[in-house]
Structure 1
Amino acid sequence: MGDKAHARAGAAGGVATPDRPSSVRNVVLVGHSGSGKTTLVEALALAAGALNRAGRVEDGATVSDYDETERRRHRSVQLSLVPVAWDGFKINLLDTPGYADFVGELRAGLRAADAALFVVSAAQEADAVAGAARAVWDECAAVGMPRAIVVTHLDTARMSFDEMVRICGEVLGGDDPDAVLPLYLPVHGAAGPDGHAPLTGLAGLLTQRIVDHSSGERRETPPPADDRAGLREARNRLIEGVIAQSEDETLMDRYLGGAEIDVATLVDGLERAVARGTFHPVLTAAPAPDGARTGVGTTELLDLITGGFPAPPERPLPGVVPLRGAPRPALTCDPRGPLLAEVVKTSSDPYVGRVSLVRVFSGTLRPDDTVHVLGHGLTDPRHTARPLHEAEVRVGALSSPFGGQQRPVTAGVAGDLVCVAKLGGAETGDTLSGTDLPLLMDPWTAPDPLLPLAVEAHGKADEDRLSQGLARLVTEDPTLRLEQNQDTRQVVLWCLGEAHQDVALDRLRSHYGVRVDAVPHRVALRETFATPVTGRGRHVKQSGGHGQFAICEIDVEPLPPGSGVEFVDRVVGGAVPRQFVASVEKGVRAQAARGVASGHPLVDVRVTLRDGKSHSVDSSDAAFQTAGALALREAASATRVRLLEPVAEIRVLVPDDYVGPVMSDLSGRRGRVIGTEQSGPGHTLVRAEVPELEIERYAVDLRSLSHGAGRFDRAYARHEPMPQQLAERVRDEREGRPIGV
């Protein structure tokens, strides 16, 4: 890494289809929002010859501004793939959004990749780096992803490179800060009027050479005599860190004994430690200045990717389950093996239609093949999209994306990423396998969306397209959940945050031509009786011919929570004919479903029919249904009706530093903290019960409170009586339907 020739860039856009998995590198760029991931992708593409010197692909667009939503927002909101060629390798660069609302895109990128470049900005505040970076780092660690760290924005830094290395070691290194050490040190030029010194080169600690870009071209020179002592100290620490992670236990003895460890041995040990995920080298990079081909650090990063990151065969395949009792196959990353691939992203192209980004794990995917498509689906009754599905689908044309273009490819070999147009009904997360050996891959975990967005069609024309548009939207994005709430009669789109909501509405309008209005989300409240009470329902009408006659008398008593509505028949002597008892019950239950005081369903009561009157001619099923409803309403007017609100059990996982503020915030939301426990190094799990009215925006508020480092999940616990003052306000504002009610 650093001792090779550097005239290895391909022609612009010319990335050949690899013929073997070992010539592929799948690298995902991750990091907090604003860290410079997309700029770094473009700098690497420029250095590799995939872009011209103006940073443009052939149609004039950059690799990152072809999506209309991203152009408007000046922010990455989706996973994007940029393939480049370097030194005989195909490198699939996967750019992920840094904003927490799009963590689903991050997890899709982690599924598709074999290693990660973790990008942090020196222009950010230290607290922001620590909070946001730690959350993303934990995502990578959860899947065992090998990582290198890239420091950006050193030209306008709030913190020096040394400070950034120290923070990364403390925050990301876990129990071993020496697992995070620089591989190169930055070289700065003279400071400008603003006090910032431009980044002009790098000092290689292993090669002991200076890579100088001050002239606009990349040149290697020996280090100045004044700098050699500082470089030697940093080099010794790096060597000790690499040797500590080496599988060769004799290296440390040799090093401590004064033996000189050759560079080739150190590079080999470094590559092994990076691939195992036990060592994380730190580099820095900057875009190329105007007119230059390579930016500072881009060549070194490309060398690290091809020489230090694992090839697809070196990474374990996700678990698979064979169908219909077939034996479990022994799969490897072999182009000649059984087909095993996965849709890691689904998007819509205005000209091509649905496009599936597919990672091939085993076998070879070719155009015109017939493949078995199988999706897990969702068994949660709250979800109204993505059911379990299975089909055999013919594969259409394969392509490789670059900016807004789709360039044809002949095949997708094991380890590679390709795009497939119009792959039947395949959805994100679906498994593709051979028709002779259908397989189902273990799914990656999608975050549970916890921020509700209630929507209504904007106009009559939108009503006809709303259901289809929403269904297609959640097919593309598994972090959206569509709910048809039967209690509140609302269509609710559950999202990960406010930015996620905005992008979802934007795509509904721009991709599917559906305009919707966001309306206040209502929580499913309930009613119950506070004390036992009686009621009498009298429905008597004479209007010529057959009239209507039904009288019933009921007793209503409250029951324990969760009892629902019970109906008991205690009529004696035939006061209410047997055929009309069920009619009374039907009327009572219908009225209970509509509510008796504030329009919310009545629960947890026992209704006893004890007496009544009928008429031999004028009594009917409809009359007794009406009488039953009237009796329940009269009973409600004679007692206090309690309003019940849903209570959620939530579990909040935060770094230890934020436990106090989180618990204080929960108390202010009428919450009850029921326990805390340690959950891994430096993290605490807080368990609490909180009314759902108080946590509708908790997904947003917790992110702000914990600097992006906290997350939570929730589950319905029960309904509990609402405080009287709040219940009265709900009743007073019933007609206005206030937010949250």
Structure 2
Amino acid sequence: MGATSHQAGAAGRAPTADHPSSVRNVVLVGHTGAGKTTLVEALALTAGAVTRAGRVEDGSTVSDHDEIEHRQQRSVQLSLVPVEWAGTKVNLLDTPGYADFVGELRAGLRAADAALFVVSSSDGIDGATRMVWEECQAVGMPRAIVVTHLEAARADHAQMAAVCADAFGGDDPDAVVPLHLPLYGPAGPDGHAPVTGLLDLLTQRVHDYSSGGRAERDPEPEELAQIAGARSRLIEAVIAESEDETLMDRYLGGEDIDLKSLVADLERAVARGTFHPVLMAAPAADGARQGLGTVELLELVTRGFPTPLERDPVPVTAPDGADRPAVACDPDGPLVAEVVKTSSDPYVGRISLVRVFSGTLLPEQTVHVSGHGLTDRGHEDHDVDERTGALSCPFGKQQRPVTRAVAGDLACVAKLTRAETGDTLSAKDRPLLMEPWQMPDPLLPLAVQAHSKADEDKLSQGLARLAAEDPTMRLEQNPDTHQVVLWCLGEAHQDVALERLRTRYGVQVDPVPHRVSLRETFGAPASGRGRHVKQSGGHGQFAICEIEVEPLPPGSGIEFVDKVVGGAVPRQFIPSVEKGVRAQAARGLAAGYPLVDVRVTLLDGKAHSVDSSDAAFQTAGALALREAAASSAIHLLEPVAELAVLVPDDYVGPVMSDLAGRRGRVVGTEQSGSGRTLVRAEIPEIEISRYAVELRSVSHGTGRFSRSYARHEPMPPNIAEKVRERLEKGSPLT
């Protein structure tokens, strides 16, 4: 990129935007440890948002790690760091790199208009990062690559450029090209030469950072020779993206192309999402004013990345589903904003991070909150009016007030007590609803119980507030096992959920083994007699009934048939027998699990004119069913899930072997896009309670799966016997 005048924001002042054209929303993507947060802090220092190493005056960092993140030693939530550069407000959205917090990443992608993929020169590019690149590619999001950890002893920047082209180039590796080459300083005692500057391939200028700031100079002859080959490849890649179809012929004919035209074509290609430059960046050394490559990166963001005005109009509907015209990014248009993150502050209360897509959001404004359709995860739909609190811009642990948020900008809104992540804010007199973004399905169960009676009283409210903050979590009250289950994305996600319950909401819970909903059924026909006769003075109890039980096909439930003749059981007590049978079936017979798929036939019985009653015949019905069970084999039925596992072709074999080891039956495979296979299988649910973690290991973080209930089927006798033994010992049943 060519040289430009740099205008940094003043430290401590909240950047503001008066028009969408002066906003850039950029999400940083990359695996854990790639250096995203360090890069954000370096950019904030270069832009003048802070005066030293990412620190604000209260001592916090601009990325505002909370206590949970310090304990986790990783970022676990989306954070917004706004900076100002050359009169442009740049909203930097720092996302977690760990797979358990992919929901925060998806929120960042939703709020952004472009992405910076941060890769470590020493660690390479993992499969999960490649998958996110493909997602961005599918929607045409502009992207650039930033190589970090330049100081690593084993860093090979030429090789890293080739790795980026291979990983991100797809069918067009020439679209992933470095803008600079590293300039090395004198080698140290270990023989490692540090990167002290950049050789700009377009301008053929040297950006020297060795003095603590950025200084430009002409290249030395040997540096100019080093630039030549890489510069030719860059120019050809830029010209290939040019709208001027004569440019390539002129260049190949020996004509010198005007630098201004090349820069303009590069910026247009980046904004279109068809060209992906590779840059380098490093944090500032102690006492330095600027980190290496941060000026160049801010130039690319402000000049090459698109404004919110270039985003396609957003589809909306009325809350009742009626069609409405799509809304464009217009500060004077109808208000449409979306809550992309919800958090809690001990002093302010709930804080909602909002992306404004149309209109202008003001403080103390009455807005309509429309729900998001995630009721299956414990998030209720909303269709209410609510008054916004103050608008602010995050700065470390502080919230600096702003007077408005125009279309295209992001801001924090206080005191939205009903709005949750994914909800739409719109005008009170013109309510609208955006289609929610795709959330990953939480597939790792965590059963919890209150630690004490005091915690039990607060548990329901604490769980509701936790679910409001995190739409990737599903809250379940299992009616079969009577357990409270938090469905999470992984073990780290579980740890964060428990920690937030304890520290933010004052609720201490204990994890307990997750129980699978087993069933029981009869293995063969059987008969039973229930006799309930008691006489202890006064009104007695008398009821006798005889039943026959026979197994039915799976999914039949419980059938009750009356074949009593001659009034042996009075008509008014036949429903009582059925009620007693069904109550006993719900309690189970052998292992305490509900009985299903049987036909119970009432054949005969006896009654007393005075002592028979509804309660007596209910008891007799239950006793008859228990006697029948004692004379027949009772089979345990386990739930079977339909599993769809999407993995790269290289991992199909290991995944299928792993499924076979879990008593899974592969029912088919099919190609799903380039280089990926969808494996379909049926597998007992008891075998996949931790599959969300174990698939990640088998597929090196590249696999995904979905599951749905298929049916209950008989459990193998050896496994059923182990379950019964554990029940007899009082051990938890999983």
- What TM-score range do you get, normalising by the shorter chain? over 0.9
Specify the alignment match of 2:177 in structure 1: 181
Specify the alignment match of 2:538 in structure 1: 545
Shift of the 499–740 alpha-carbon distance from structure 1 to 2, 3 Å rule, reads farther
| One-letter amino acid matched to 2:244 | D
Counterpart-to-counterpart distance in 1, 2:321 and 2:223: 66
Specify the alignment match of 1:580 in structure 2: 573
1:291-311 residue CA offsets vs partner (Å, 9 max, x unmatched): 111111000000000000000
Counterpart-to-counterpart distance in 2, 1:618 and 1:608: 24
1:245 Cα deviation after fit: 2.5
Give the paired residue count.
734
Specify the alignment match of 1:2 in structure 2: 2
Specify the alignment match of 2:435 in structure 1: 442
Q: Secondary structure at the match of 2:327?
A: coil
Specify the alignment match of 1:658 in structure 2: 651
The within-5 A match list for 1:75-86 is 75-86=74-85
- C-alpha contact 2:316 2:326 (8 A) present in aligned 1: no
Q: Secondary structure at the match of 1:201?
A: strand
Bigger CA drift: 477-486 or 421-430?
421-430
Structure 2 gaps, min length 5 = none
1:740 Cα deviation after fit: 5.8
1:53 Cα deviation after fit: 2.3
1:14 aligned onto 2:13? yes
Counterpart-to-counterpart distance in 1, 2:321 and 2:667: 45
Which of residues 146, 156, 176 in structure 2 aligns to 1:160? 156
1:458 aligned onto 2:454? no
Specify the alignment match of 1:244 in structure 2: 240
Which of residues 280, 284, 287 in structure 2 aligns to 1:284? 280
- C-alpha contact 1:65 1:71 (8 A) present in aligned 2: no
Bigger CA drift: 251-260 or 407-416?
251-260
Counterpart-to-counterpart distance in 2, 1:199 and 1:714: 49
Specify the alignment match of 1:697 in structure 2: 690
Which of residues 157, 168, 172 in structure 2 aligns to 1:172? 168
Specify the alignment match of 2:304 in structure 1: 308
Counterpart-to-counterpart distance in 2, 1:544 and 1:424: 63
Structure 1 gaps, min length 5 = none
- C-alpha contact 1:2 1:300 (8 A) present in aligned 2: no
- C-alpha contact 1:13 1:84 (8 A) present in aligned 2: no
1:687 Cα deviation after fit: 0.9
Counterpart-to-counterpart distance in 2, 1:70 and 1:194: 35
Counterpart-to-counterpart distance in 2, 1:261 and 1:291: 40
Shift of the 159–604 alpha-carbon distance from structure 1 to 2, 3 Å rule, reads farther
Counterpart-to-counterpart distance in 1, 2:129 and 2:192: 24
Q: Secondary structure at the match of 2:283?
A: coil
Q: TM-score scaled by structure 2?
A: 0.98
1:108 aligned onto 2:107? yes
1:254 Cα deviation after fit: 2.2
Counterpart-to-counterpart distance in 1, 2:594 and 2:152: 59
Specify the alignment match of 1:593 in structure 2: 586
Specify the alignment match of 1:397 in structure 2: 390
1:189 Cα deviation after fit: 2.0
Counterpart-to-counterpart distance in 1, 2:90 and 2:478: 46
Identity, % of aligned pairs? 74
Specify the alignment match of 1:206 in structure 2: 202
1:531 aligned onto 2:524? yes
Specify the alignment match of 1:386 in structure 2: 379
Shift of the 613–325 alpha-carbon distance from structure 1 to 2, 3 Å rule, reads closer
Q: Secondary structure at the match of 2:13?
A: coil
1:365-389 residue CA offsets vs partner (Å, 9 max, x unmatched): 1112211111123353xx4x21211
- C-alpha contact 2:79 2:93 (8 A) present in aligned 1: yes
Shift of the 643–194 alpha-carbon distance from structure 1 to 2, 3 Å rule, reads farther
Counterpart-to-counterpart distance in 2, 1:493 and 1:158: 43
- C-alpha contact 1:520 1:738 (8 A) present in aligned 2: no
- C-alpha contact 2:181 2:198 (8 A) present in aligned 1: yes
| One-letter amino acid matched to 1:86 | W
Counterpart-to-counterpart distance in 1, 2:47 and 2:148: 19
Specify the alignment match of 1:64 in structure 2: 63
Counterpart-to-counterpart distance in 1, 2:663 and 2:731: 19
1:39 aligned onto 2:38? yes
Shift of the 737–669 alpha-carbon distance from structure 1 to 2, 3 Å rule, reads farther
Q: Secondary structure at the match of 1:512?
A: coil
Q: Secondary structure at the match of 1:342?
A: strand
| One-letter amino acid matched to 2:192 | H
- C-alpha contact 1:131 1:706 (8 A) present in aligned 2: no
- C-alpha contact 2:148 2:282 (8 A) present in aligned 1: yes
| One-letter amino acid matched to 2:459 | L
Counterpart-to-counterpart distance in 2, 1:719 and 1:223: 73
The within-5 A match list for 1:647-726 is 647-726=640-719
| One-letter amino acid matched to 1:213 | Y
Q: Secondary structure at the match of 2:636?
A: strand
Bigger CA drift: 62-71 or 330-339?
62-71
Counterpart-to-counterpart distance in 2, 1:501 and 1:714: 20
| One-letter amino acid matched to 1:5 | S
Specify the alignment match of 1:729 in structure 2: 722
Shift of the 51–561 alpha-carbon distance from structure 1 to 2, 3 Å rule, reads same
Counterpart-to-counterpart distance in 2, 1:191 and 1:528: 76
1:495 Cα deviation after fit: 0.2
The within-5 A match list for 1:304-343 is 304-323=300-319, 328-343=324-339
Counterpart-to-counterpart distance in 2, 1:164 and 1:51: 31
Shift of the 716–158 alpha-carbon distance from structure 1 to 2, 3 Å rule, reads farther
Q: TM-score scaled by structure 1?
A: 0.97
Counterpart-to-counterpart distance in 2, 1:86 and 1:113: 17
Counterpart-to-counterpart distance in 2, 1:589 and 1:160: 71
Bigger CA drift: 133-142 or 526-535?
133-142
Counterpart-to-counterpart distance in 1, 2:724 and 2:253: 82
| One-letter amino acid matched to 2:403 | T
1:243 Cα deviation after fit: 2.1
Specify the alignment match of 1:569 in structure 2: 562
1:294 aligned onto 2:269? no
- C-alpha contact 2:314 2:327 (8 A) present in aligned 1: no
1:242 Cα deviation after fit: 1.8
